[in-house]
Chains A and B, each alone.
Chain A
Amino acid sequence: GENVEQHPSTLSVQEGDSAVIKCTYSDSASNYFPWYKQELGKRPQLIIDIRSNVGEKKDQRIAVTLNKTAKHFSLHITETQPEDSAVYFCAANTGGFKTIFGAGTRLFVKA
């Protein structure tokens, strides 16, 4: 079955710096890759997603890149702000019902 690994588990950056979170997946049939942000005590919320026919997608300060050959995808946050502090989860879906989530990255943005 699909396995998703996420790194780093914890990331601390200075306000204004960029943050990068990387994920790898095992099933080459995976074709949908969402990213979720979960603030403390809150529900996970979708922040961006990418499908396998696209290599990069950007939404304001957030971008996601996908390398199908290497089976990895990354989340890039530029000009980080304190409100970006949260746990971020990557996920992969093969087109079936099961979405497999990474273990999460706890991002701290220091003011």
Chain B
Amino acid sequence: GAGVSQSPSNKVTEKGKDVELRCDPISGHTALYWYRQSLGQGLEFLIYFQGNSAPDKSGLPSDRFSAERTGGSVSTLTIQRTQQEDSAVYLCASSLEYSNQPQHFGDGTRLSIL
């Protein structure tokens, strides 16, 4: 596609359930990023992929969060045993390379935990 695509656009789920968020980056972009944005707040870095590998997972808030990327393209962010504090917009971005390149964002997934 022309831009970064994220699905679902909205997700409402009950506390304790697992959720899976998907990101399809711009074709040819080797770097992929996940951010979390709470209401009215800035962008919190979660994890980065260069190709299929994630060199640094230190931004993930807890061990309930995990992410993977296969085929150097689509990435999924999984949150297990969701908590109310996980409610936020989860943004994905991609760039040509990992270093000093503009990041192109998707529209995000708005996650609401009841």
Binding site for B on A (CB under 8 A): 31-32, 34, 36, 42-46, 49, 51, 89, 93, 95-104
Contact = CB atoms under 8 A, between A and B. Distances in A.
Contacts, number: 51
B68 interface: no
Given A45-B105, A98-B56, A93 B100 contact: yes
B23 interface: no
Nearest to A93: B100
24 contacts: A32-B99, A34-B102, A42-B107, A43-B107, A44-B91, A44-B105, A46-B102, A46-B104, A89-B42, A89-B43, A96-B98, A96-B99, A97-B31, A97-B48, A97-B98, A97-B99, A98-B45, A98-B48, A99-B33, A100-B45, A101-B42, A101-B45, A102-B42, A103-B42
A46 B103 contact: yes
| Closest 4 A/B residue pairs (Cβ) | A32-B100, A43-B105, A97-B98, A101-B43
B31 to A, nearest CB: 7
B interface, over-half SS: loop
Given A32-B100, A43-B107, A51-B100, A97 B56 contact: yes
Contacts of B25: none
A45 B55 CA distance: 26
Given A43-B107, A44-B43, A100-B45, 14 more contacts: A32-B99, A32-B100, A34-B103, A42-B107, A43-B108, A44-B105, A97-B31, A97-B48, A97-B98, A97-B99, A101-B42, A101-B43, A102-B42, A103-B41
A62 to B, nearest CB: 15
Nearest to A106: B40
A99 B42 contact: no
